[in-house]
Structure 1
Amino acid sequence: MVDLEQLIEDYLRYLKIDIESPSLNYLQRLIQQHLSRIPYETFSKFHYYKEKTNFVPALDVFVKNLIERGWGGTCYTLNINFSRLLSHLGFPVSLVRVTPGHLAIMVTLEKRQFYVDVGYGSPIMKPVELEAKRRHVLHGFGEEIIFIQKSTDRFEIDRRSNGKSFVKKEIEWCPLTEEDIQSDIMKSYIDDDQNTTMRRITAVRFNGHECYFLRDRSIKVMTYRNIREIQMRDIDKWKTTIQEVYQIDENSLDESIQFLSERGVALFGK
């Protein structure tokens, strides 16, 4: 039997934040702590795929792996479990589809609806009231995130770096349940070369004034002023650096290298 109260307490303790009554200020602090404490990463995605039990872990499994292995997840794992936490804390929440291949959260407070996203590896550090105005712009770590209303229930989210767009998606601003997005989750785990998420290692963590972006054997360290890159051609340096930056356990790193190797992706030779 899962002790739900203990589970919520453990989750919040990891975030280093106390239980409070639902409010916009509390929601913003929860988002900020989540982005700084819990990484976007694909190590756990490969593991959950191989287990083939539940691609999105239950809340108790998510919290256990968070504490014991340093895992976060990709958008489905992160945003679904954060929405579960918010719901238990008394926030009215729904899920929203973001196409292609993404998921976010709708939180309703005082009859106002806010877009929340802790699973995009992006510095969306606050709730965004999409319907308040046609265009919203957020900035952080060399990135510009622009929300533009396209219709009553459609919003474009455009991520830009150095003034150039590098990914655009469309928010379907319609409340959904976990059951409604099961097929989306399954698609995100398709094990073929067209699904690049399943063929490369990615991790993002925000730490104070720095953002660490891992892509296979390199980490970009971004601040509000500049970007530097760490190249890791040696597997031992790779493991040491990733454990220092992301606090991911070593077994997860070995599992991921093996997972990719079995699919013809060799990060460190054959």
Structure 2
Amino acid sequence: MTQKQLPLWAKDYLQYIQVPAREPSYSYLKEISTAHLNQIPFENISTLLHYKAYHEERKLVEDEKKFVKQLFQHHMGGTCYMLNSSLHQLLKQLGFHSRYTFLGGGHVALLVRLPGEKEELYVDIGNGAPFFEPIRLETDPGNVSEYGGIEVRLRPGDEFGTYKYYRYVDGTLLTDMDWSFDTKKSYQFDDFQPAIQKYFQPNGAFTSVLRCQIWQLSQKRSLSLVNNVLSIRYRNRKVEKQTLKDRFEVRNVIEEEFKLPKLPVEKAIGILEGMGVNIFQEQKEDEAD
């Protein structure tokens, strides 16, 4: 695989995550996953900015070109639908075999196969979890994806080809993420439209709150902003929290800590206020999904 063989959007995508074009391999897939989680945020700011447009069009489509354009123009990432669908398109351009899987009726992830191999690898850069390397579901049933007290374990279900997703924060299982998935089922992006419609409903998990999360492995930490609460979780499991008083402080954190100066966070806060949500009111503390 050479850079010249790729479409412009794929070249720009790799440039943004600072990864060169290489031949498909496990190590290359790990490199892409790690770089993605460190360069591109999991956030719903883009969701809020597209909220009105979605309700006019009533459909969300795969659009890797728009995704890459928004990376450079606005430092936007997204949630699972845009993050994993765009990575899906990139991986296919790079020579991987990639297809969708669907967890818990609402979360989209990827099953990726290397050339010449039969086993599919679980890849997921779309829910703020430490999936820095692909998961071998069949040959590594005891897998643990862990960082700083956040753990995700994918365990075989009762039927062949089925798995369950377990997420722990500091040893506590998150019961609201009780997800299962069936690797025998195949999906097209349009199969997710009913779930996407629920995702864009008013007062939903991503339409009534402000979220932004990113990993910074070079600094041995991850950052999570939920409304006006910034959580800094370190590799040694230490967690620091800071309550932000106003938009200026939110903007400062996005620029100075997240290093995402183009992210239009003020617009997202204004949209939430238009829907009756004041992110500076006292909120229940939460971890980014």
Q: TM-score range by the shorter chain?
A: over 0.9
Matched, 1:172 2:171: no
Q: Give the letter aligned to residue 167 of structure 2.
A: R
**Do structure 1's residue 135 and structure 2's residue 135 form an aligned pair?**
no
Residue 249 (structure 1) shift: 5.0
Of 253, 262, 265, which aligns to 2:265? 253
Q: What is the identity, as a one-letter code, of the residue corresponding to 2:271?
A: F
User: Does the 8 Å contact 2:62/2:189 carry over to 1?
Assistant: no
Q: What aligned pairs does 1:159-238 form with structure 2 within 5 A after superposition? A: 159-166=167-174, 167-173=177-183, 174-191=185-202, 193=203, 195-208=204-217, 209-225=220-236, 226-238=238-250
Q: Is the 8 A contact 2:76 2:263 kept in 1?
A: no
Letter in 2 for 1:141: G
Provide TM-score, normalisation by structure 2: 0.86
TM-aligned CA deviation for residue 171 of structure 1: 2.2
- Whether the 8 Å CA contact 1:239–1:250 is kept in 2: the answer is no
How many residue pairs get aligned? The number is 265
Q: How does 1:91-170 map to 2 (within 5 A)?
A: 91-109=96-114, 110-150=117-157, 151-166=159-174, 167-170=177-180
Measure the CA separation in 1 of the matches of 2:119 and 2:262.
43
Answer with 62-71 or 173-182: which moved more: 173-182
Structure 2: which 5+ runs fail to align? 282-289
Q: Which moved more, 1:128-137 or 1:105-114?
A: 128-137
Look up the equivalent residue of 2:242 and give its one-letter code.
Answer: I
Summarize deviations over 1:148-184 as a string: whole Å, max 9, x none: 1012122111110121102331122233222322222
* 2:33 match: 31
Cα distance in 2, alignment partners of residues 30 and 212 from structure 1: 20
2:17 to 6, 15, 18: 15
Give the deviation of 1:238 after TM superposition: 1.3
**Higher strand proportion, which one?**
1
Counterparts of 1:67 and 1:200, CA distance in 2: 24
Residue 186 of structure 1 deviates from its aligned partner by 2.2
Distance 1:215 1:103 in 2: 22
TM-score of the superposed pair, with normalisation by structure 1: 0.92
Deviation at 1:57, TM superposition (A): 5.5
Say whether the 8 Å CA contact 2:99–2:111 is kept in structure 1. Answer: yes
Q: Per-residue CA shift, 1:172-222, capped at 9, x if unaligned? A: 22332223222222222122x2x2221001111001111001100011101
Cα distance in 2 between the residues matched to 1:57 and 1:112: 26
Preserved contact between residue 123 and residue 139 of structure 1 (Cα < 8 Å): yes
Write out per-residue CA displacement over residues 6-38 of structure 1, whole angstroms, 9 at most, x where no aligned residue. Answer: 111100000101111111110010000000000
Output the amino acid matched with 2:137.
L
CA distance in 2, matches of 1:77, 1:253: 18
Q: Say if 1:55 and 1:254 are closer, same or farther in 2 by CA, change over 3 A.
A: farther
Structure-2 separation of matches of 1:51 and 1:252: 17
CA distance in 1: counterparts of 2:213 and 2:171, whole angstroms: 21
Q: Percent identity?
A: 26
Structure 1 gap ranges (5+): none
